[in-house]
A = this chain, B = another copy of it.
């Protein structure tokens, strides 16, 4: 089966199952990621309190943990949820937003990375920071190209037995041995806040219906990239791009999915 056919297959499963995706994510993107998950056919829930995260994990099909707008009181809920997901064998994905920018972020991300996420997705600066753990990044936007982080990402994937996804002009998805390249997307997407967070959330949704986390991550990145490409052709700027992206995710058909470029 071609990558395009496999992506279309996963997307159809997702729409049929409407998996419940639990998100412990940041204030900036909660609305966008919920809308992206709804548009693509999943059922999102934003549930973070330590008093209920474990019960919620037990009804969710996959879990997304994102450390943007981090505060220590949220880390407790993140850890409880991740541990419970691992216990129940439910897949979860980590977004280490701003890892490297401050010690709080780097140490929190590493701690969570040790709790067996199926996938971790970050930009090159974040992945490099996690790998080197002593490297400073600059804010939350990446200063490094995704290829420069590939070797670090492979090492990280092997150390933590996870799939590392490095977002960039080309996205790299690796389990430490295999490497998939995703060449979809549009430059204007970098001008919409939380696009990386949306990618991570969609990886969460794909993990619910695609057993192989390497494929789930690559397919999710490709789908968001294709949607971004189509949306960009209709957009006059980042405001309308964000809007069209949701419309496109909602209406993606086999024809548009044929534009995925995974290799």
Cα separation A52 to B103 with both chains bound (whole Å)? 8
Q: Which residue of B lies closest to A51 (CB)?
A: B104
- Interface: A183 (CB within 8 A): no
Q: Which of B138, B237, B243 has a CB less than 8 Å from the CB of A39?
A: B237
Interface residues of A in 215-263 (CB under 8 A from B): 235-240, 242-251
B140 adjacent to A45 (CB under 8 Å): yes
CB distance from A25 to the nearest CB of B (A): 9
CB distance from A32 to the nearest CB of B (A): 7
Q: Which of A79-87, A88-96, A189-197 contacts B (4 or more CB under 8 A)?
A: A189-197
Q: How large is the interface on A (under 10, 10 to 19, 20 to 34, 35 or more residues)?
A: 35 or more
Q: Which of B60, B103, B140 has a CB less than 8 Å from the CB of A139?
A: B60
Q: Known contacts A20-B139, A39-B239, A250-B191; is A46 also within 8 Å of B31 by CB?
A: no
CB distance from A88 to the nearest CB of B (A): 15
Q: Known contacts A38-B191, A103-B55, A239-B245; is A28 also within 8 Å of B48 by CB?
A: no
B98 adjacent to A47 (CB under 8 Å): yes
Cα separation A172 to B136 with both chains bound (whole Å)? 40
A residues touching B (Cβ–Cβ < 8 Å)? 20, 26-32, 34-35, 38-39, 43-49, 51-52, 55-56, 59-60, 68-72, 98, 101-105, 136, 138-141, 190-194, 235-240, 242-251
| 18 further contact pairs, Cβ within 8 A, besides A236-B244, A242-B246 | A20-B138, A20-B139, A28-B46, A38-B192, A38-B238, A39-B238, A43-B139, A45-B139, A51-B104, A52-B70, A52-B104, A55-B102, A59-B138, A60-B139, A237-B246, A237-B249, A238-B247, A239-B242
